[in-house]
A = this chain, B = another copy of it.
Amino acid sequence: MTASYAYSQPSRVSAGARERVARAAAELGYAGPDPSARSLRRGRTSSLGVVLGEHLAYAFDDPQASAFLGGVAEVCGERGYAMTILPTTGDAHDTERIRIAAVDGFVVWTTVDDDPVLDAIRRLHLPAVVHSGPAVEGLGLVGINNRKAARAIGALAFQGSRRPAVLSFPLDRARVADVSPGRKPTAAAFPVTRDRLLGFRDAARRTGHPWSAMTVAVCGHNQRAEAEQVTSRLLATDRPDAIAAMSDELAAGAITALRAAGLRVPDDCAVTGWDDAPVAADLGLTTVAQSMRDQGAQCATAVLDRKLTSLPEPPWSLRERSSTRRGAPA
């Protein structure tokens, strides 16, 4: 029965025939072409794979990740694509999960340098873009220049400070929370963490602070509650008068901890965030503004259009508010 046309190319079939096909289908309980068979034959699945880090659950808790997914979703919706979320757990099955995914391409949410998933994707020869790194031969890369942005926001955070500190994303997949000084930026396995540490180091040096004395407080997850705890620990061992955080979430947690300790922002301690999420406006946070939503859309577009090279760097800017000291010279 070559009534397949009635579904795939209705225009190529007379109205009468279409009618008869529809009636026969209803009678037989036929619901339309089988998606797998169609994919096999057509050679495409009309679904975009999105690979999220090992704590998939957290991806939905993280407002930045959610905004990013929203951007991807928007593009998928417009183009009639579905969006296949690929849960990776950090175990050995991850590469297999990637391999068996019926998708036409991948968007990878920022991960560590040696994530085996990256290699698995490369082997599939499907278009793929990594958000924020790591850079992988053959895959696209979308993200801002984190080092440069960190240098810029760091300058605002550290101005007029005597004892600056950094509140950091996790260094690697172990996601250990830890407070210690002079941590080597290059030890970080997440490119985002590494680049921002490098930028903060640049900023610190320019304001006369040797990196060896800089306390780096590391959070295991981009979560406010954890940032609050870690900051409390930081305050117990150190007395920072400026904290540059890698996200608004972390900064929000820091502010809660500072207030609990009876410290004022920015008088006793300046704080900067990153992302310009809604919470940044609420808290008057000086921050790096960037649109994760736009970046998600950019990633999806790049993959679906197979334009993986020379992707433009997304825009970012400094948003100066009341959580930092104004114009005081270093």
Q: Name the interface residues of A67-123: CB closer than 8 Å to any CB of B.
A: 67, 69-71, 73-74, 76-77, 80-87, 89, 93, 97, 99-103, 123
* A45 beta carbon closer than 8 Å to chain B: yes
A102 in contact with B47 (CB, 8 Å): yes
Once A31-B123, A31-B124, A57-B70 are accepted as A-B contacts, the answer to whether A46 and B100 lie under 8 Å apart by CB is: yes
Task: List which A185-238 residues lie within 8 A (CB) of chain B.
Answer: 224
Stretch at the interface among A14-22, A35-43, A162-170, A322-330: A35-43
Asked if A259 is at the interface of the complex by the 8 Å CB criterion, the answer is no
Q: What number of copies of this chain does the assembly contain? A: 2
Within the assembled complex, what's the spacing in Å between the Cα atoms of A45 and B101? 9
Residues of B within 8 Å of A84, CB to CB, are 47, 82-85
Contact A36 B74 (CB under 8 A): no
Instruction: Given contact pairs A35-B101, A56-B73, A82-B84, enumerate 12 new A-B contacts (beta carbons under 8 Å).
Output: A33-B100, A34-B40, A35-B45, A36-B36, A36-B102, A61-B67, A66-B66, A76-B87, A77-B87, A82-B85, A83-B84, A83-B87
A: which residues have CB within 8 A of B? Answer: 29, 31-40, 45-47, 49, 56-61, 66-67, 69-71, 73-74, 76-77, 80-87, 89, 93, 97, 99-103, 123-125, 224, 278, 293
* 22 A–B contacts, CB within 8 A, in A order: A31-B99, A31-B123, A31-B125, A32-B99, A34-B40, A35-B45, A36-B36, A36-B40, A38-B100, A39-B40, A40-B40, A46-B100, A57-B70, A57-B74, A60-B60, A73-B87, A76-B85, A77-B89, A80-B97, A82-B84, A84-B85, A102-B102
